[in-house]
A and B are shown apart, each in its own frame.
Chain A
Amino acid sequence: MSTPLSAPLDLAFDYTRSLGPVLGRFAAGLRERRIEGVRGADGRVHVPPVEYDPVTAAALTEFVPVSDEGTVLSWSWMAEPLAGQPLTTPFAWALIRLDGADTAMLHAVHVPGPAEMSTGLRVRVRWADEPVGHIRDICYFLPVGAPDGPGTARPPGSAQDGVMVTPIQLHYRHSASPEESRYLRGLAEGKLTGQRCPACGKVYIPPRGACPTDGVPTVDEVELPDTGIVTTFCIVNVPFLGQRIPPPYVAAYILLDGADIAFLHLVLGCDAAQVRMGMRVRAAWKPRDEWWTSLENISHFEPTGEPDAPYESFAHHL
């Protein structure tokens, strides 16, 4: 069996979060290069502040200013920093108890090597050159007395007070299943490949790793024609970000002749108001030199002009 298809999948999105009164005040303080903790039910001062007491769950409201200097309680060495971390050169992670606080905060310490790190080391904040009200206003920590190190990238700002933006970027290698891979490779040759469940005989396109009725992989390959019917559809009238076709247009479920499952595609080539359930359609393929391992090779479906399929013939596919 040939290797399943795989490709990089890069995700990026910004979390935009409301901070509320406790974290909002903490973030606002950072913008002014101040650090405030909150006093817990047991009298301990929590930094960063917590909204509710970790033991009693009481809402906490008493803010306590603390120092931007503190003591390393524990540390580990980050020999090869990962994307997004506070420093791009090797650094230490540390649990740091700021003077005036009783709990520790997690952050980075900028020192040349692990030999310069120790439990009990006194450290101070290296503030961002342009604080915006974000935890990244603290670039990192430095040993007390050490000269300021390099500034880091400007933390993400936000358009309003009490809101914090955090960009997230993740990288994956996405793999298609063996069945999906055969289907996608078929598309690159202009073929529509379904697969049949060995237990119930249903033909799925795209083929599935397992039949949803029987839980067994679909195996027998079935080449399907590029003709079928519209089972159900909607007329898209609403413009949205990334839209490629001017509305109104029709998104429809197409049931290929011989298949037991419909898939979503476009119906173009006629007035949207003329599209109906049971309408016979045929694939409009893009020019051959644009084909690749994608259903995008079919530009859309268009009416064949044949008589409609009777409702009873597709009612159980709705």
Chain B
Amino acid sequence: MRDVAVVGFAQAPNVRSTPGTTNGVEMLVPILAQVYEQTGLSNQDIGFWCSGSSDYLAGRAFSFISAIDAIGAFPPIHESHVEMDAAWALYEAWLKIRTGEADTALVYGFGKSSAGQLRRVLALQLDPYTVAPLWPDSVSIAALQARLGLDAGLWSEKDLAAVAARSRADATRNPFAQVSGITEVTELLDAPYLADPLRAHDIAPVTDGAAVIVLAAADRAPEFAERPAVITGIEHRVDTPVLGARDLTRSPSTEAAGRAVGTSGVEIAELHAPFTHQELILRTALGLGDDVRVNPSGGVLTGNPMFAAGLARIGEAATRILTGQASKVLAHATSGPALQQNLVAVLEA
């Protein structure tokens, strides 16, 4: 089967709220134009389209249908959608190219989190019988996970603040970031708890945004990019949705996915960790040493567009190869509560 490469990536600015519609068209049209420009492809040249978004975020059924205007869906196109982060849409597109059904694919994700109350909307992804009827919000669930690790001595509040400080400092070099700045760990620890034991800096901001990636069969990729980022491994796994049956201080699904793709020799890793302690869980699960540069973009702690953020991690990692800054990178995406579902990809020059 053929290899697949990332040949283009663009993202909308990560912002607290946009005046636009929940169908994402206003955010998508400009970044689609960017990837056409980068790759020299037009919308007529794309063999397969796939997107990730959520009706619950938009508050209406089949919300992704309206987004399709942005890609020009007439005459008819081959198109699909996942109700997950668009990293999983990328997986579907990767399969289409692997199996020879398409030579090129365009993957996009978008989310207007600001339209509703995000942490409450996300309660609806929980078990609908015994958990969701209590409306536990996503921040509280992450806080329960964080305390398990604090109590077990796996990390300290200072460790968490250090992740936040590094992310914000890195984000000062990322023009798309929503949050950035140089901060001292001690200063961060003076902040009040937002959901004890989590402080504001431990929690990814509420973000509106979108991201687009163009994939091509590796044998054709040089037509569209000088230095394509070939996906040499991609796997996704899932842990039980029963929160109480999991050891929440670990991520077995990330571990299994990481083992399957092989993480040795990785220089840079973009990890999708919406909470500071989750970055530490992921680093351990993937066996990343101190020599691996984690989230040079600032990561989702500095901008977390729901349903696009995981795809953007793949885009950020691929960019390091496309621009010649690295030769082997890792990207991780998560979906669901407390790192339930995880995707790991390794890309090489």
A106 touches B72 (CB 8 A): no
Q: Which of B43-94 contact A (CB under 8 A)?
A: 43, 56, 58-60, 66, 68-75
B21 touches A176 (CB 8 A): yes
B144 touches A95 (CB 8 A): yes
B25 interface residue per 8 A CB criterion:
yes
A172 touches B115 (CB 8 A): yes
Q: Count of B residues near A, CB < 8 Å?
A: 63
CB contact under 8 A between A135 and B69, given known A76-B140, A168-B124, A215-B43: no
- Please report the C-alpha to C-alpha distance between residue A73 and residue B245 in the assembled complex, in whole angstroms: 12
B19 touches A215 (CB 8 A): no
Which secondary structure characterizes the binding site on chain A?
mixed
Q: Which of B21, B74, B130, B193 contacts A105 (CB 8 A)?
A: B130
Which residues on A sit within 8 Å (CB–CB) of B193? 77, 79, 114
B107 interface residue per 8 A CB criterion:
no
Q: Which of A212-244 contact B (CB under 8 A)?
A: 212-217
Q: Which of B29, B74, B131, B135 contacts A85 (CB 8 A)?
A: B135
Shortest A193–chain B CB gap in Å is 18
B242 touches A177 (CB 8 A): no
CB contact under 8 A between A209 and B195, given known A73-B148, A74-B148: no
- Please report the C-alpha to C-alpha distance between residue A84 and residue B126 in the assembled complex, in whole angstroms: 15
A50 touches B242 (CB 8 A): yes
Which residues on A sit within 8 Å (CB–CB) of B22? 172, 174-175
B59 touches A172 (CB 8 A): yes
B21 touches A76 (CB 8 A): no
Question: Which of A15-23, A280-288, A298-306 is the interface stretch?
Answer: A15-23
A209 touches B130 (CB 8 A): no
A209 touches B25 (CB 8 A): yes
- Please report the C-alpha to C-alpha distance between residue A82 and residue B120 in the assembled complex, in whole angstroms: 8
Shortest B257–chain A CB gap in Å is 17
B134 interface residue per 8 A CB criterion:
yes
CB contact under 8 A between A134 and B133, given known A76-B197, A211-B69: yes
B74 touches A212 (CB 8 A): yes
Question: Which of A3-11, A121-129, A250-258 is the interface stretch?
Answer: A3-11
Shortest A252–chain B CB gap in Å is 22
19 of the cross-chain contacts (CB-CB < 8 Å) are A17-B128, A19-B129, A47-B244, A74-B151, A76-B144, A76-B197, A77-B195, A93-B136, A93-B144, A103-B245, A108-B134, A135-B131, A170-B56, A172-B58, A175-B115, A210-B29, A210-B69, A210-B70, A212-B68
Q: List residues of A whose CB falls within 8 A of some B CB.
A: 3-4, 6, 9, 11, 15, 17, 19, 23, 26-27, 44, 46-48, 50, 54-55, 73-79, 82-86, 93-95, 97, 103-108, 114, 119, 134-136, 164, 166, 168, 170-178, 180, 208-217
Q: List residues of B whose CB falls within 8 A of some A CB.
A: 19-23, 25-26, 29, 32, 43, 56, 58-60, 66, 68-75, 114-117, 119-121, 124, 128-137, 140-141, 143-148, 151, 193-198, 240, 242-246, 248
